[in-house]
Amino acid sequence: MTAYHPRLTITDEVRDALHEGHPVVALESTIISHGMPYPQNVEMATEVERIIRDNGAVPATVAILHGRPRIGLEASDLELLATSPDVAKVSVRDLGHVVARGAHGATTVASTMRLAALARIPVFVTGGIGGVHRGGQTTFDTSADLTELSISRVAVISAGVKSILDIGLTLETLETLGVPVITYGTDQFPSFYSRTSGHASPLRADSPEEIAAVMRAHWELGGTGGLNIANPIPEADEIPAERIEGIIQQAIAEMEKAGVGGKDATPYLLGKIVELTEGESLRANIALVNNNARLGARIAKAYAQK
């Protein structure tokens, strides 16, 4: 049996799948604890795991419980993450602190990447990645997701960069970091709630098999980090970019007035946008995560067929 990192607690289902070379898809947990209200958050988490299983892969939701990094969760664990006020939002800088204190933590894109890489899981599904915040050229407010993409060997499937961010600066930063940015089935880079962002996609792929081939080639040629796979939200579920932009501007203005910043900024903005759209953005968020889960499972299957 392959030995895994001693800090990790891996469920038998996930461990067996990894040992036998079956496809596994990692999932983050911040979207459960800080990204959606209850009970939609736990319903979404359960549905995403079901979609991944239905598409031939094993889901591995990642979190920290009682100071142990967990790869794969039970239903009771998802409920705890969805309801407990004692779950911290954990990025890579926070991992050691939360583990040493024996606390609970929900993992961001960056920390999920780090733990998935330690567990040797090459595919990870999320909603949207973080990036350079608007005004980041003066505030230097940039998500750790970008630097982690440059060092952890995991392909991250998302609906693009969160539209509350500066997508152009984020794409420039990913280029500097040498991270392949591949859009699935389109030449336009998506923007989370919307299928387009006004930015051309750096690279394009039209099948899970093509993406899996790029993953293999990238890593075989010495690529030290991950890949950003952008999967546009289904057309029926999108909020057009020109409509959501005004709502985002209003949410940002209210956030600045409230004095919210740092790691609290993104959860505040997403919650405010749900309020301003009367729940439409939440429905779009759930739809895009489900769509990413389907693609992620198919990519994981293609990559496992080496």
Point out the residues that are catalytic: 28, 162
**Inter-residue contact 197 to 210 (CB < 8 Å):** no
Angle, helices 280-304/40-54, rounded to nearest 10 degrees: 30
* CA-closest candidate to residue 300, choices 120, 92, 70, 81: 120
**Inter-residue contact 131 to 162 (CB < 8 Å):** yes
Which residues fall within 8 angstroms of residue 89, CB to CB, at 6 or more apart?
30, 33, 34, 105, 106, 108, 263, 267
- The number of residues making up the chain comes to 306
Cα→Cα distances 295→80, 116, 128, 151, 159, Å = 28, 18, 14, 23, 11
CA 107 distance to own-chain centroid: 10
Which residue do the tokens 């949207």 mark?
Answer: 128
Tokens for 223?
């690529």
* CA-closest candidate to residue 4, choices 119, 124, 152: 119
**Inter-residue contact 140 to 122 (CB < 8 Å):** no
**Inter-residue contact 184 to 298 (CB < 8 Å):** no
